[in-house]
Amino acid sequence: MEQLERVKDQLPIDLAEARRKWPHMDHVEPEKLLWMTQLPAPKVEHGQTGFVARFDFEGALLPFAAAPPAHSALYHHGQEPGRAGYTVDELFRLIRSAAQQQRVLGLQTLANVLRKVAGDGQVGVYDGVLEPPLLGDDLFLDEAVQRALRLALGHVLRQPARLDLTAEVPGLASFADLYGQLLDQFEAVSYGDALFGAVVMVPLEPRHPSELRRLVWSERPHALRALTTRPDQMLVPLEQFVASPEPDQVVRTAYRRALDSGQVTAARNPALFRIASALSGAA
């Protein structure tokens, strides 16, 4: 109650008047009324040289003591309620929300952050500002990032049959080109990572465009060898990959060639081996 007395001038109502005018306001609940007062300004601790990065909805990095208006919707009950904006961890939590609007907001904001990180393809807006860099080549190997990615991807792919890789995406000229860039990155820095491999495998279902499977099975031998993901680590169940026959003869031939040459083996590439064996007709 003493704490409430110190901040009563910040309340939107006069407590004495409220007791007279409204029922049950004679019983004051300080912990609830304190939420209606001004939060103390964030302070940098003595010796502190950095702080957790917080971003607005456009992906802009906010100064430590940024004070946008309350109606900006950048204040929330997170770990630092006195600071505006969202951390990357908080954006991942929004993406996992049961509310569709929150998921969309989290994805849009994270996309805006990543656009600024990538910059114009040469120099990112945040290069030299974030430590460690937000998008290091091997960031996906971080344990916390792996957990967040698997949760987010599992949520997005909870109904994999609805995934349509032929749909037009604004700003994306060709999904095959994007997938080729993903394969370049996978071959360069994946280190055989199972989660990265699971992402690469998603477009390899027979129902997706055959040009995507040709990219991997016919043109990327190094990617094939590095795809060591097990069936239990896949983002889309193995059963969906083998539920229907392979419609492309070129891909069927590539399956058999990969098996016969030892490029794909049961020991090294358990998920790929089962897919190729089932869809090529091999025993």
Model pLDDT, residue 47: 61
Do both 2 and 106 map to the same domain? no
Within a domain: residue 270? yes
Do both 216 and 170 map to the same domain? yes
The CB density around residue 126, as the number of other CB atoms within 10 Å, is: 19
Within a domain: residue 127? no
Angle CA(160)–CA(165)–CA(171) in degrees, nearest 5? Answer: 125
Q: Total structural domains in the chain?
A: 3
Do both 187 and 263 map to the same domain? yes
Within a domain: residue 145? no
Do both 9 and 104 map to the same domain? no
- 255 CB-near residues (< 8 Å, 6+ apart): 217, 246, 275, 276, 279, 280, 282
Model pLDDT, residue 52: 81
Model pLDDT, residue 1: 57
pLDDT at 122 over 60: no
Measure the CA–CA gap between 42 and 88, rounded to whole angstroms.
Answer: 19
Model pLDDT, residue 283: 43
pLDDT in tens, 53-78: 889 999 888 888 888 887 888 888 77
Model pLDDT, residue 148: 79
Structure tokens at 190: 């994946």
pTM higher than 0.85: no
Within a domain: residue 132? no
Residue 32: give the domain boundaries. 1-38
Within a domain: residue 95? yes
Structure tokens at 70: 């309350």
Averaged confidence pLDDT in the chain: 82
pLDDT in tens, 184-242: 988 888 878 899 999 999 999 999 999 999 999 999 999 999 999 999 999 999 999 99
Do both 271 and 173 map to the same domain? yes
Do both 166 and 254 map to the same domain? yes
Nearest of 65, 99, 58, 98 to residue 82 by alpha carbon: 65
Do both 109 and 186 map to the same domain? no
Do both 110 and 199 map to the same domain? no
